[in-house]
Structures are given as C-alpha cells and as structure tokens.
Structure 1
Amino acid sequence: MHRIVSCLITFFAIISMLGIISCKDAKSQKSPNKTVLVLIDYSESVREARKDYIDAIKKVIPKVKLGDHLFVWKITRLSEMETKPLIDEDFPYPPPQKNDFYWKQAVTKAEREAKIRFDEIGKKIEGLLNSNSDFSRKTDILGSLQVAEKVFKKDKKDKAVLIIMSDMIEDSSEYNFERERLSDKRIGEIINHEKIKKRLPDLSGVNVYVVGAKAPTREQYQNIQNFWLRYFKECGANLPKENYGSALLIFNE
C-alpha cells in the first residue's frame, strides 16, 4: 500500500512539473513587445504628402503584433496641448492558460481578433488622412516630442518606436526652419536653448523613423536633416540617416 501511495505521489509530481514547464514554454513563446507612436503632421504644408503617409501606415500596421501598443497623435500648432490621441489601441496577450495547448488556442483567437482591429485601424487612419478638415497653419514638431516622451515613459515595453510623418520643417511660435539658417553653430544654439529651458525630451533607446521630409532647396533639406539627426542624438534616440526621408522604405521593428 505504501508503495502505491508513493507511486501516486511521484506521478502527480511529474504531472505538476510538466504543467509548470508547459506554462513556461508558453510564456517563452511571447515575442518582445513594443510601443509604436505615430506622429502625423496636420499642417497645410504637407497636404500633398498624405499619400506617402498612407503608404507608410500600410507598412507599419502589419508589424504591430500581440503585446504591442499603438498610438497615433497629431502634430499641430499646439502639439504639446493635444491631449487626446487619434488612435490608442493595446493588443495584450491572453492571460496564462493551464497548459501549452490551451495557450496556443487562446493566442490564435487573440491574433484573429487583432487582425480585424488592424484592418479597422488602417481604414480609420486612411480616412483621417484623406479628410480635408482640421488642418493647422503651424507645425510644432518639438512640442509633439514632449508628448512622445510622456507616452514612452508611461507605456513601458521592450522596445519603443517613433514614426514621424512630416516635412520636418518646424514652424512654431519660437522657430521657423524655413527662415532659419541652420548652420552647425545655430543648431547647437537651438539645442542648448532647449536644454536650458528643460524642454529636451528623454527619448533614450527610441528607434525613430521620419516619413515625408522635404524642403524648398537641397541645402535647406540637408540643414534641416542635420538638425534632427543631432537633436535626436541629444535626446538619446536612434535616428540613423537611412531612416530619414520622403518615404518609409523599410520598417523592420
């Protein structure tokens, strides 16, 4: 009798261990999650670039997976005061299941439901971009980056991705990049001024993409690009030159 009891205890211990291992395996199947923030320029100056934005969104949406959080925010003349995002969609993994089989079933169901939501979000953003309303006369990109800092600080994930859809010509109450001569010296002055005012956002580790960049002349384009490359470096973000351009060529996040 003692031997039978001992065997039963061993049997249930093994079953319990298998359950724990199965749960661990299920959890290990989760891929690194990310916060994706898209900032869209709503100024008159980028009206003609909306098609490029839509094309970029079609590349970004399929890269949003379970575990990710997607935000879309406006860039306007008062970006920092834009309190409500256009899109705020979270895609959490399902809760833990008792074994790997049920976990996979739950994940498959969640992925199927997420795909429906992805399609709806894509259509909503396309509709917003095709709309002729709510255009702003100014472009406060720097203000929108204050919003970005808050989003990434609050929504902590394994990875943070920032996509800016704009011509990148700051035209706010303080700076006008179309009139500014953005020499290396002037770029340094602006960045130092932002530091002194404690307005340089902490974007440490954020991967940045720019879509729709343009300028009246080639020289201005290069100067504006140099500003943003230096600015984001000072913020601790990653903006390689190949991620700055008129179109989103590659998005592998």
Structure 2
Amino acid sequence: MVDDDGYDGIRSHGVDPDWNPFSTPRDDDPDDIGWDDGSETPHANPSRMSRKGVAVLTACTLVIAVAGIGMVITESRLNVRHDQLVSECSDAVASMNRNRERLEGLVAVDLNVDGSVLDGKRAGRYESLRTIRRAPSIQCAATLRNRQLESNTAKARKQASAYVEQSKRVAAFRKEYDKTRSEKSRRDDMTRLSSDLRAARDLLDRTAGMELSVPYLRSRLADTVEQAEPFDGADDADQRRVSALADTLEDLMGQIRENAGL
C-alpha cells in the first residue's frame, strides 16, 4: 500500500513482508521441508560435553580420590597406633615381671632376720612384707582391641608400681631392723659386761690364795677387770671393745674355774 507521499510502508525500506523471525532459515535444498531436527544445534551431539559438566566431573573425581586417600591414611594411622599399644602392653608386662623378681630377691635377703629382735608391731609388718602378690595374667595379643590393650597396659603398670613400692618398704624395714638389732646388741653387750665384771670379781675373791696350775690366769683376769670397768655403763662405749672385753673375761673365768676345780 502506498500513501499520498509515495511511502509504500515496508517494501520501500527493504523489508520482506514474507520474512518470519520465528521460521527456520531455508537453503537451496529442495528436500528441506523446514523442520529442524536439532542436528545442527550445539547440544545435539551426545559425545560432546559442556565445560561446566567437565568441571563438575573433575571435582567429583578429586573429592572421591581425596576421600580414598584419607581413608587409607586413617587406616594406616590406626594400624600404627594398634601396633604401638601392643608394644606398650608387652613392655609394661615385662617391667611388672622384672619388678616382681627384684622384690623376691629383696625379700629373700633383707627379710632374713632374727625374729627375737622384732616387737609385736614390727613382727606384723614383717609378715606383711614377706607376702608377695602373684603377678596377674595379662594378655597383649595383637588380636585384642585398642581399648582392651590400653586397659591391660594400665593394669600391668599399676602392679609394677606396687612391686616397686613394696621393694622400697622392704628396704626401709631392713634399715630399721639393722638399727634396732644394733641397739639391742649394744644393750646386750653392756649387760653382759656388767654381769661378767661382777662374776670376775667374785671369782678373784674365791680363788685368792689358791695354787693354780697356771698362776698367771688370776693376774690376767684382774688386769682385764681393770680395763673393763671404765666401759661399764658408759653411754658412749665402743660396742666392739665392750664385746671383746666381755669375751675375754668369760674365757679367763672359764680357765680359772677349770684350774681351781670349781
């Protein structure tokens, strides 16, 4: 249509009135009926994949790989920890057995004592220290779970410590016993010396004027009495000297009695 100014609307501006923007472009192929089967579109080829799809697939692969490596590392660490627990348990049991053997040796030697030296309280401690608890049966097999291995290790260490503490008490008891025995021995020697001095003086009086087959025995006894008198009742007396003087007095008195027929 042409208006009064000669403007024909569409065609005069180069626009094809038959053009349809929603139609499929046609080529010169006479067999082309205008259908689009999608063969020329980017998404039609199933062998192709978008960059986004490749990125997603790559990310998933990396996640799976990292997870797999993490599981391997975790399992490896668990195995190492299990082996460590088995080793710790075995070491604890070995230490427990060694401590018990050491305690048995101490009891056999340090508690070999003279029971007459012990009073009622010490006698009770002595019997208690002589009793050694049997070592518990503790397993450290690799088939055990970690929790059981940890529990067994704790038991072995606790018993090992108990043996060590008992060994310390045995050593302390022996030290106390030696001191008590030394004090008792000193008292006994001082008592013996006092008794021997009284007996020696009495024997010298009884044998005065007697003709002995060995005359010098009386003079030796008198000299020994004179040497021993300063030690009688002395708090700072040398115990070995006191014991030696008492032995000499007893020996001389025995010989004099034999010579005098007493």
- TM normalised by structure 1 equals 0.28
Which one has a bigger Cα radius of gyration?
2
Hey, which of these two has a bigger chunk of strand by percent? 1
**Which structure is higher in RCO with an 8 Å CA cutoff and minimum separation 6?**
1
Hey, which of these two has a bigger chunk of helix by percent? 2
- TM normalised by structure 2 equals 0.27
